[in-house]
Amino acid sequence: MPKLYLVRHGKAAGSFGEDADPGLSQEGRGEADAVAEELKARGPLAVVTSPLRRCRETAAPLAALWRREARVLEAVREVPSPVPFAERGEWLRGFLQTSWDKAPAELLAWREGVVAALKALTEDTVVFTHFVPINVAVGAAKDTRRIVNFSPDNCSVTILHADAHALAVLDLGREAKTVIR
């Protein structure tokens, strides 16, 4: 049964409502270096990342340490926003307070895609992703319909077991209060 290390990206240089694809802030680059050191002894393992810059930049130090190329996995990208860009931050704040039972069909399909992609990984893998996809995985493992199941900190590591049939939480990792701007 593969072990998955879900890493939330480092602190971004811009917020969800300010920048469609921000890179890492100076603090985020330091967090990326620190998580690479934290995970270094566990590998080398496969490395996959969301296509968004903040995840690719967070993955880069670990991929370099292991001399691996981080493979982009579209399914673990940030939750798609069904509203105009200027309204994204407000939409996300409200969305996180609800449950998947109230989500539109396109978001339910995205959620199922996240879970299916993680279950399809066949080897121990480090997955650099975002707050909501990590919560999707934890929610699937715990069989809950809540959107937010915990608050993973930037560069925290959530560890799951995965196979074609199920996800199981081994460790939720470090939590912090996430503020959506």
Q: Is the pLDDT of residue 180 over 60?
A: no
Q: What is the pTM (predicted TM-score) of this model?
A: 0.95
pLDDT digits (tens, 9 = 90+) for 80-130: 999 988 898 899 999 999 999 999 999 999 999 999 999 999 999 999 999
Q: For residues 45, 49, 53 and 59, what is the CA-based torsion angle, rounded to 10 degrees?
A: -10
Residue 35 has pLDDT above 80, yes or no: yes
Tens-place pLDDT, residues 127-172: 999 999 999 999 999 999 999 999 999 999 999 999 889 999 999 9
Confidence (pLDDT) at 85 = 84
Domains of the chain as residue ranges with CATH: 3-171 (3.40.50.1240)
Strand ranges in 19-120 using DSSP code E only, listed in sequence order? 46-49, 71-72
Q: What angle do the packed helices 26-39 and 53-66 form, to 10 degrees?
A: 40
Burial string for 94-111 (b: 16+ CB within 10 Å, else e) reads ebbeeeeeebeeebeebb
pLDDT for 177 equals 72
SS3 157: strand
